[in-house]
């Protein structure tokens, strides 16, 4: 099986001419699936602007196709073309925890569905988005239903021959994944997954009673 190409984050960010970042961005724009670091855990993703990327990620992760993926970007402006609804409680949560370890599941205008988004300013995300104009799909870099491990060597082996490359930042500090919060049209707040941010802090920031 072909080993996963591992590109060190430290070396990538040290490049003065930014050639390496441009090359990686071009690969992402052409549909590359890759592993990359975030402020919580390693993610598995690709460009949300490329047809077929979402399906391929789900297949690599061995995840049911109906399970939605998170979209991430370093700034809310990258979600501006998506018809999201941001109730006041969602705005309060964004102000309190973005950029950071919060994923918001927000309703979409004129559609009975929702979309999960997160704003992160991890150095890799900030750097690569100088050359990207669409959010990245993101999901944890593990197989569906299996435990996540924090060792890039193990992650690299897990996805050998399946992903196009990995941005290797070394072992990340131990962390829970992002906390996932669903906000309803009427501003109600539901913690779907308590992660790096405690549920108590979520309800306090949203101005709602702790549940």
Give the model's pLDDT for residue 65.
Answer: 67
| Domains identified in the chain, total number | 2
pTM: 0.92
102 and 128 share a domain?
Answer: no
Q: Distance between CA 78 and CA 93 in Å, rounded?
A: 18
Give the model's pLDDT for residue 1.
Answer: 60
109 phi/psi in degrees, rounded to 5: -65, 140
30 and 124 share a domain?
Answer: yes
166 and 85 share a domain?
Answer: no
Give the model's pLDDT for residue 168.
Answer: 95
68 and 135 share a domain?
Answer: yes
69: CATH: 3.90.870.10
108 and 124 share a domain?
Answer: no
127 and 160 share a domain?
Answer: yes
27 and 64 share a domain?
Answer: yes
113 and 31 share a domain?
Answer: no
Q: Residue 53 belongs to what domain range?
A: 1-74+120-173
137 and 112 share a domain?
Answer: no
Give the model's pLDDT for residue 175.
Answer: 83
63 and 130 share a domain?
Answer: yes
Q: Distance between CA 157 and CA 182 in Å, rounded?
A: 34
67 and 100 share a domain?
Answer: no
CA dist 142 to 39, 123, 198, Å? 16, 22, 23
| Location of structure tokens 């549940």 | 211
Q: Is 131 left (phi over 0), alpha (psi -120 to 50) or beta?
A: alpha
pLDDT, tens digit only, all 211 positions of the chain: 678 899 999 888 876 557 889 999 999 999 999 999 999 899 999 999 999 999 999 999 998 766 789 999 999 999 999 999 999 999 999 999 999 999 999 999 877 789 999 999 899 999 999 999 999 999 999 998 898 888 999 999 999 999 999 999 999 888 888 999 999 999 999 999 999 999 999 999 998 767 6
112 and 205 share a domain?
Answer: yes
């Amino acid at each position: 099986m072909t080993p996963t190409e591992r590109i060190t984050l430290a070396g990538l960010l040290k490049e003065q001419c930014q050639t390496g970042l441009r090359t990686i961005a071009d690969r992402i724009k052409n549909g590359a699936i890759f592993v990359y670091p975030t402020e919580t855990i390693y993610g598995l993703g690709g460009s949300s602007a490329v047809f077929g990327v979402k399906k391929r990620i789900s297949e690599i992760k061995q995840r049911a196709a109906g399970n939605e993926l998170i979209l991430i970007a370093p700034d809310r402006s990258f979600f501006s073309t998506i018809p999201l609804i941001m109730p006041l409680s969602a705005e309060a949560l964004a102000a309190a925890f973005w950029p950071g370890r919060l994923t918001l599941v927000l309703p979409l205008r004129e559609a009975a569905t929702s979309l999960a988004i997160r704003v992160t300013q991890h150095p890799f995300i900030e750097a690569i988005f100088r050359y990207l104009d669409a959010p990245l799909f993101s999901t944890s870099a593990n197989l569906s239903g299996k435990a996540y491990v924090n060792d890039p060597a193990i992650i690299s082996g897990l996805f050998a021959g399946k992903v196009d490359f990995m941005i290797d930042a070394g072992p990340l500090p131990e962390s829970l994944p992002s906390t996932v919060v669903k906000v309803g049209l009427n501003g109600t707040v539901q913690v779907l997954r308590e992660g790096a941010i405690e549920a108590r802090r979520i309800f306090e920031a949203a101005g709602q009673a702790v549940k």
